[in-house]
Chain A
Amino acid sequence: MKKITLDKLSELYIRISQEYDLFVPSDEEGVVSFTPWKDDSNVDFDVLKTNLSPKSFIFPQCETLFNFKSEGKKLSIERLKNDENKFLIFGVRPCDVKAFHLLDNVFLREPMDRLYEEKRNRGTIISMGCIEPEDTCFCNSFNIDPLCAQKGVDVFTLKIKNNIFWKVETQKGRDLTVMLSGLLEEASEDDLKEIELVKESLNSKLEELPYFNIDPQKIDRSLIELFESNVWDEISKSCLGCGSCTYVCPTCHCYDIQDYDGGKGGERFRCWDSCMYSDFTLMAHGNPRTTQKERFRQRFMHKLVYYPNNFNEYACVGCGRCVEKCPVNMNIVKVIRELGGENK
């Protein structure tokens, strides 16, 4: 275990940014999001939920698949050159790291998504544990420990008082740590004791959270029973179909593919899409999901039943962004409760 004092962080950022494109959670006009680090970045490690999840680093909201040229009867296709810069995201929370893993299940399954794979390989993740969970957090409902490194983290850190504690998890993390030698010092016995105390006090904090009792494993009906349940009629009523939940969600992976027509040439791109939208499943001959109830049901059945059937994990990490962002205050916590997923 190593550590760095907060006053040396600027030096750390400078060193990292010599080798990597560095992204940090920074506060711009009251909104905290991962942005490229600059000398005057207002880095904020206290807000847990960045406005959008960091999924856009590996699965951008919009990206070009290839360029094409169509002249007369001729068609040519040209793949873009990959960006080769290594990037590093500092301060990714355990829930968001877990979400990367859930996206890996989809995108890295054969046939592999090459654009995703390429970004995943270029990225280094410094994760940061959460010692002050917020009221809308419920990662513990999905067995995520906010003080432990999730699989895929290169370095795991904890910010306690004046120090950032630094634990190497992978070879990438080791290489980075070597590069930063001189800035990091060994943590002392007293430091380790302090970390233990923080860990102990976290448990009682978690127990006091409003959603602590949420437990999707308590949902015990079959796929067909849940699908046909009349719960959906009532809870989907308020849904506006705005799709905000899917955009802020770190695990939503649905995308659209479209062509941009620039006259003789153009590009094919993909962009985030949402199962909450009415034309998501619209075909020339009809639409299997004609009302918002069916679209609403799809989103939550996917997170809580379909995805787990395929990958043995829930497709929610309890980050709580959708809870904060839904304009009509409908969310996955209410859905889980309605389906019986609660410890009483």
Chain B
Amino acid sequence: MSCGCNDYIDPLIPQIAVIKSIRTDTKDVSTFIVEKPEGGKCFDFKPGQCAMVSVPPIGEAIFSITSSPTEKNFMEFSIKRCGKVTEYLHNLEVDTEIGVRGPYGNNFPVNDELIGKDLLFIAGGIGLAPLRSVINYVMDNRDAYGKVDIVYGARTSGDLVHRNDIFKNWPASVNTNVHLTVDREEDGWDGNVGFVPNYVKELKFETNKVALVCGPPIMIKYVLLALEELGFSKDQVYTTLELKMKCGIGKCGRCNIGDKYVCKDGPVFRCDEIKQLPDEY
């Protein structure tokens, strides 16, 4: 089914999907809207899960799914141009067919630990991609969660992704605050200026929340310290990790941190779990 050979599901064989549209977010990030050729979503998934995107003959790479599972008809991938596969993807046109397989990994506990809680999302740069899936899921099930704060920063205002959401949709939602920041002063920017970890400290969040953090490794590191300073305990904080992957199903042996495979046991980890892992990521 998923591999186009009806009798037999081989997890390493992608299904064909088609790029229905492409949204240019920044100079090096675009969001690809993907469907099955006959229409509809390629497969169901949960917020935070990933998929392998294939562009033969260039190869395959793993990406977080940036759309919410509540989107019934398509999936979105926000992809930064930074390597071979992503460079090739950025040169594709609408209606091009690609391969997709998944979903892989675990998810943010939207139906467990997050239910009824106030949520604090903290993202940097393209790190908003996996969190956006959760944020939009929360927006579509708004009554199930408490207050939402979103802290999002990038190098420059031109590097902020999902501009429609961060400037329009989310600030207009009930009980939701969006706090934007850029690294340096720039003309025409009247939001906050400064790095995300410092901004988190300045905003002095109360600790009666669950924090979900994603961004470049160095940002994650300092955000976790900032949250600790504010009094958050490690079991109140979730983040996602990323390592090189080939199979996505815990067999090719590439993405382990200690005895955990990021593709299978992650990518979402609670910070008290991360503390048990060797420092190799």
Contacts and interface: CB of A to CB of B under 8 A. Distances in A.
B253 A284 contact: no
Interface string B12-35: 111010000000000000000000
A255 B278 contact: no
Nearest to B4: A77
By CB atoms of chain A within 10 A, which of B93, B95, B278 has the most? B278
Interface in B58-87: 58-60, 82-83, 86
A302 B256 CA distance: 9
Interface stretch (A21-29, A37-45, A86-94, A107-115): A107-115
A115 B249 CA distance: 14
A326 interface: no
Contact of A73 (B57, B97, B243): B97
Nearest to B280: A288
Contacts, number: 134
Contacts of A66: 13
Interface string B88-115: 0000010111110000000000000000
B252 A254 contact: yes
Contact of B250 (A73, A77, A109): A109
Given A65-B13, A273-B252, A75 B280 contact: no
A101 interface: no
Contacts of A285: 82, 216
A208 interface: no
A305 B231 CA distance: 34
Nearest to A283: B244
B253 A79 contact: no
Contacts of B97: 73-75
B254 interface: yes
A148 interface: no
Interface size class of chain B, counting residues whose CB lies under 8 Å from the partner chain: 35 or more
Contact of B244 (A223, A266, A282, A310): A282
A75 B34 CA distance: 14
A255 B247 contact: yes
B10 interface: yes
A253 B57 contact: no
A227 B278 contact: yes
Interface stretch (A175-183, A211-219, A256-264, A328-336): A256-264
A275 B253 contact: yes
A12 B213 CA distance: 65
A77 B253 contact: no
Contacts of B60: 257, 259, 268
B93 A73 contact: yes
A281 interface: yes
Interface size class of chain A, counting residues whose CB lies under 8 Å from the partner chain: 35 or more
Interface in B224-262: 242-244, 246-247, 249-254, 256, 258-259
Nearest to B257: A288
B252 A255 contact: yes
B96 A77 contact: no
Contacts of B246: 255-257, 270, 273
A113 B8 contact: no
B254 A254 contact: yes
Contact of B278 (A114, A228, A256, A281): A228
A79 B10 contact: yes
A275 B16 CA distance: 31
A204 interface: no
B1 interface: no
Contacts of A281: 243-244, 254
B280 A259 contact: no
Interface string B253-274: 1101011000000000000000
Contacts of B276: 224
A107 B58 CA distance: 26
A223 B58 contact: no
A116 to B, nearest CB: 9
Given A70-B57, A111-B11, A113-B251, A223 B3 contact: no
B167 interface: no
A321 interface: no
A68 interface: yes
B31 to A, nearest CB: 18
A305 to B, nearest CB: 7
A259 B8 contact: no
Given A73-B95, A75-B56, A285-B82, A114 B280 contact: no
A215 to B, nearest CB: 21
Given A77-B14, A113-B12, A224-B278, A306 B256 contact: yes
Contact of B12 (A65, A75, A280, A306): A65
Contacts of B93: 73
B268 to A, nearest CB: 18
Nearest to B80: A284
Interface in A58-104: 65-66, 68, 70, 73-77, 79
Instruction: Sort A-B residue pairs by CB-CB distance and give the 4 closest, nearest first.
Output: A284-B83, A254-B253, A261-B57, A75-B97
Given A79-B10, A266-B56, A268-B54, 5 more contacts: A77-B14, A111-B9, A114-B9, A257-B252, A284-B86
18 contacts: A65-B10, A75-B56, A75-B97, A77-B14, A79-B4, A107-B251, A223-B259, A224-B276, A253-B253, A255-B247, A257-B12, A257-B246, A262-B57, A281-B243, A298-B256, A301-B258, A302-B256, A307-B259
